[in-house]
Amino acid sequence: MRYVDGFVLSIPNKKLKFYKKMATDAGKVWKKFGALEYMECVAEDMNPQHVTFTFPKMAKAKKNEKVFFSFIVFKSRAHRDSVNKKVMAFFEKKYKDKKDQEMPFDMKRMAYGGFEAIVDL
């Protein structure tokens, strides 16, 4: 069964261009090493009826931020682990001199998890 890594994070409006470039570059790396899909999605409809806990609330988004839901799709968890090992090795080598590089978002407000697909149509 396919496996998905999912992320929710808030990006300050002034850093959107930087984040989009970073995410585009990252997506190419994940795909190069075998990810099936890589998506970065910006929140658009965040006022659904009958729902009290939304992505912006979860990400503690500020008024000057956009909320992103991002995900990477793999064949299985074992495939995810294999791909991510290669991706992390690539990034460690590429950014070895930039360990303290500024991120375009607050890592403390990022949500992440790995998910096994139970319905995959």
User: Is 59 within the bounds of a domain?
Assistant: yes
> Which pair of tokens denotes residue 79?
């495939």
Does residue 121 form part of some domain?
no
pTM for the structure as a whole = 0.88
Confidence of residue 107 (pLDDT cuts 50, 70, 90): confident
Q: Which residues pair with 66 in a beta bridge?
A: 11
Residue 110 belongs to some domain of the structure: yes
Determine the 3-state secondary structure of 48 from DSSP: coil
Q: Give the structural domain span for 85.
A: 3-46+54-116
Provide the CATH number for the domain around residue 34.
3.30.70.100
Neighbours of 40 (CB within 10 A): 19
Which residues are CB-contacts of 23 (< 8 A; sequence separation ≥ 6)? 40, 70
| Whole-number Cα distances in Å, 101 to 35, 69, 72, 95, 121 | 25, 23, 23, 9, 40
How far is residue 31's CA from residue 38's CA, in Å, rounded to a whole number?
Answer: 7
Instruction: Tokens 């294999």: give the residue.
Output: 82
Rounded mean pLDDT, 65-79: 97
Q: How many domains does the chain have?
A: 1
Instruction: Give the pLDDT confidence of 3-59 residue by residue, as tens digits.
Output: 999 999 999 999 999 999 999 999 999 999 999 999 999 999 888 888 888 888 888
The predicted-structure confidence for 86-101, as pLDDT tens digits, reads as follows 999 998 887 777 667 7
